[in-house]
Amino acid sequence: MKNIFKFLAVTVIGIGMVSCSEEAILDLSPINNISIDDAFSSPSLIESSLNGMYNAAAIGEYTGTGRGYIWGAAFVQQGDNRGEDVVNTATFYQLTYTATYDGTTANNVYYWVDGYRLINRTNLVIEGVTKAIENGIISAEVGNDYIGQAKFLRAITHFELLTYFARPYNFSSGASHPGVPYREVGIDTQSEIDSEMLKGRNTVAECYQKVLADLNDAENTITNTQLTKASKNAAIAFKTRVYLHMRDWNKVITEGTKLAGAYTLTAEPDGVFDDSYSNTESIFSVLQSDTNNPGVNAALASQYNRRRLVAISPIIWRDPSWLVDDKRRKETYEADAPDGMVFTVDGRKYTAKYRDGVTYTDASPIIRYAEVLLNMAEAQARKSPADLSASLELLNRVRNRSLENPTAQAYTSSSFTTAAALVGAILKERRIEFLMEGRRWSDIHRLQGDDLQPIDGIPAKVDNGNPPASAYVLGTPYTGPYGVAAIPGTDTRFLWPIPQIEIDANPILATQQNPGWE
């Protein structure tokens, strides 16, 4: 049998998918031909291994090509198309958009496959760097920074998988329902394949505990401050997202408060996208370069801008909460908005957040300060006792920068008489502010059975295809038609099935498939 396990570029695909004939499938030069034994033998090779880990996050692998799984573009595209605020105009994301997937559908299969491929890389980095510190190859300070970065990616990738393959945290008492396998062993030998293949699903509670442990370690050990690599502040910011899903409102506020003064919102809402690598608001983004990006079939500017494969839905476009003169509606051709946020073709609205349709260098926006502020705003309104004043101030900080006349249009204390109404406004602001950034599914997922603003399942959507220009005319809310029916929360399709290739290879997971997909 060909010994493919000694190469860092070939990791376990969904743990059980490696075959005797598999070749290196990620072009992650210069480390794709370096053995595990050598990859951590010098400071320069260790740095290359770390860069390979980030490349795996940015590019991924999809039937032999890079498609941005899972942090390079796929998390945006899948997160958007699982929700109702975009319209899939072609066939590219149709199975995701219409929930007609199964255990063999490539989009959800490779979310799992490349998620665990990346997780395995993080584990190999953690183990390799730990040995390098012990052997005196690099200092503990440098090594612990690298380990912290790997733990950050390990945490956020497991967390992302939970939102697609497991029910939300509050689904059962103590979150005792099935989560995903939380993998903490770097696999590069057949014996490790054999032992790890038998690993089953952790509970959701166990997964969250491990996610938070990894993020806490990342916060305490990372010294890097680059936007496109994990940082201490990125770990803190991501914890506000995790605690929001756990409904631990006080801890959302505690973590978010740590970032006070570290970031500021850009003056204009499009400032983040004017320069996605150098602005005051972005906390963590994934690098896309002209020589290393998901390409024409995945890059955000290709799919959302140049090829127009996903449009803004009339459902959110015509929502009355989104004021007609909101700056986030400004077109790219307007004289006072040379970059703009939106462009129109045949009456349909598309996002202009991703600008480089030639070399695809727009960074993939993982988390920015606007989200931290809205996470805190929601937590303030939901905690007991609620602090509606603090919540309103945080909401207005995000919303006001997009208002044409904040003095007259800002929300006031009389705008909302209940916590439920204020939370509703915060959730609507999230839909507008993070439109086409992949955040909608995460909110749909966590709001199942919510006490203040419940969502049941997946909302109804505009039909797959190209909506008519008349559907975008402002003046009244969109009331239909809906070509894609709502899916109840109890429906099998609410969760993706564990991929069939994983079920076939892992006898433990074969008994733990999501209900209805057996």
Residue pLDDT, tens place only, 341-366: 999 999 999 999 999 999 999 999 99
- Contact of 443 with 430, CB cutoff 8 Å: yes
- CATH assignment of the domain containing 381: 1.25.40.900
Q: How far apart are CA 432 and CA 75, in angstroms?
A: 18
Q: What is the extent of the structural domain holding 388?
A: 271-283+310-354+367-489
Please give the distance of CA 15 from its chain centroid, rounded to a whole number.
22
- The answer to whether residue 20 scores a pLDDT higher than 90 is no
Whether pLDDT at 495 is above 90? yes
Any domain includes 90: no
Within-domain flag for 317 = yes
Classify residue 422: in a domain, yes or no: yes
Q: 188-204, pLDDT tens digit by residue?
A: 888 888 888 789 999 99
Number of structural domains the chain divides into: 1
In a domain, 432, yes or no: yes
- Percentage of residues in the chain with pLDDT exceeding 70? 92
pTM of the model: 0.94
Q: Which residue stretches of 258-311 are H helix?
A: 271-274, 300
Domain contains 119 = no
Total residues belonging to the chain: 518
Residue 384 lies in a domain: yes
> How many Å apart are CA 165 and CA 173, to the nearest integer?
19
Examine residue 254 and state whether it is found in any structural domain, yes or no: no
> Closest by alpha carbon to 258, among 299, 296, 226, 219?
219
Question: Are 137 and 46 within 8 A, CB to CB?
Answer: yes
Establish if 476 belongs to a structural domain.
yes
